[in-house]
Amino acid sequence: MEINFLAILVAAVVPLVLGFIWYNPSLFGTVWMRESGMTEEKMKGGNMALIFGVSFVMSLLLSFFTQFLVIHQFGAMGMVGAEVESALPSFQAFMDDYGKAHRSFGHGALHGAFAGIFFVMPVMITNGLFERKTWKHMFINIGYWTLALTIMGAIVCGWV
């Protein structure tokens, strides 16, 4: 089983495109700005090339790791130490039978959504409570990341 770098690259673009839509003033942008304490002045004061550049690198890391959450076959590879060339013949027989099992956009989306609910939400709520953020603020961000991971999971798992 090989890593699909094109799927990872395409999935890494998802948070940037989705963020443009999600945080647009016509959707959640105005509420998010108010709830986060962000102002137009603060928005204009940042180095946008640096912000988008680092954000894309972080999206690449997230996209790369997402494949291990949504593609079950990586677990089978882990059982043989990822050295498939030296694995017993039973490993190849298993992969012949199940190598494409659960490799769909829907399955990847499901596991991506699980990652949003069971990883992102607990972390963001914990941080938000200590930072004294509002529930509105927390759930706007949680919704964004859960949807982003859902789409990313779909791409990474379904793009066979």
State residue 96's pLDDT score. 87
Q: What average pLDDT does this structure show over 81-99? A: 83
Angle between the N-to-C axes of helices 48-70 and 135-158, in degrees from 0 to 180, rounded to the nearest 10: 60
State residue 11's pLDDT score. 98
pLDDT in tens, 124-144: 999 999 999 999 999 999 999
Where do we find the tokens 């079950």?
A: 72
pLDDT of 16 over the 90 cut: yes
pLDDT of 82 over the 70 cut: no
Compute the mean pLDDT over every residue in the chain, rounded to the nearest whole number: 93
State residue 76's pLDDT score. 81
State residue 155's pLDDT score. 98
pLDDT band at 1 (very low <50, low <70, confident <90, very high): low
CA distance 152 to 105: 10
State residue 83's pLDDT score. 72
Which of these ranges, 3-7, 12-16, 38-42, 83-87, has the smallest mean pLDDT? 83-87
Q: Any residues with CB less than 8 A from the CB of 98 and at least 6 apart, and which?
A: 73, 76
Which alpha helices (DSSP H) does 23-134 contain, by range? Answer: 29-36, 40-45, 48-70, 73-79, 89-98, 105-115, 121-130
pLDDT band at 111 (very low <50, low <70, confident <90, very high): very high
